[in-house]
């Protein structure tokens, strides 16, 4: 019985490798983005558009930090709980939807470079979400 449990844990660990790597990459990307938004808020705000306030960029950067901690915590567990992976994926897709909604509703707030920046960042996060879904499906097998 114990050998079966050990085998099951090894299979789960092997199946969780993709999900773990994607979650760690997501945490790293979010950490770098958050720190850049905090410490370079002025230049980033000017890059996004002439009417974008630096305080908003700082607020977004600060809001990334609890997300980074949570994603890193989930990825560093011996056994990844699928419900946490689904929650993180949901949050990623919510961010993507919010980014495109921001572009749609605030088109005039951003210059061309800012629009591209927001769109590309949303697509990177979308890619994390898709890879996390693939990783979550591998956990079921």
Q: Check residue 14 and give its pLDDT.
A: 66
Burial class (CB in 10 A: 0-12, 13-18, 19+), 100: middle
For residue 79, the 8-state DSSP code is S
Handedness of CA 123, 127, 130, 133 (dihedral sign): negative
User: Residue 136: exposed, middle, or buried by beta-carbon count in 10 A (0-12, 13-18, 19+)?
Assistant: buried
Residue 110 DSSP class? S
Task: Give the residue from 59, 57, 134, 123 showing the smallest Cα distance to 95.
Answer: 123
pTM given for the model? 0.87
pLDDT at 140: 84
Cα–Cα distance for residue pair 47/56, rounded to 1 Å: 13
| CA geometry: angle 90, 95, 101, nearest 5 deg | 125
Q: What is the model's pLDDT at position 67? A: 98
Distance CA 109, CA 50 (A): 7
Taking only the tens of pLDDT, the chain with its 141 residues reads 565 555 455 555 567 899 999 999 999 999 999 999 999 999 999 999 999 999 999 999 999 999 999 999 999 999 999 999 999 999 999 999 999 999 999 999 999 999 999 999 999 999 999 999 999 999 887
The per-residue pLDDT for 11 is 52
d(CA 66, CA 37): 14
How far apart are alpha carbons 139 and 43 in whole angstroms?
42
């Amino acid at each position: 019985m114990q050998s079966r449990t050990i085998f099951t844990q090894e299979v789960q660990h092997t199946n969780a490798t993709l999900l773990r790597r994607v979650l760690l990459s997501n945490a790293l990307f979010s950490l770098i983005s958050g720190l850049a938004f905090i410490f370079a808020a002025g230049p980033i705000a000017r890059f996004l558009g002439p009417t974008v306030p630096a305080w908003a960029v700082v607020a977004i950067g600060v809001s990334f930090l609890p997300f980074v901690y949570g994603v890193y915590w989930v990825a560093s567990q011996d056994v990844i709980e699928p419900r946490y992976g689904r929650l993180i994926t949901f949050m990623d897709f919510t961010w993507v939807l919010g980014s495109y909604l921001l572009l749609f509703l605030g088109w005039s707030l951003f210059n061309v470079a800012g629009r591209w920046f927001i769109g590309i960042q949303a697509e990177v996060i979308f890619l994390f979400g898709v890879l996390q879904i693939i990783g979550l499906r591998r956990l079921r097998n």
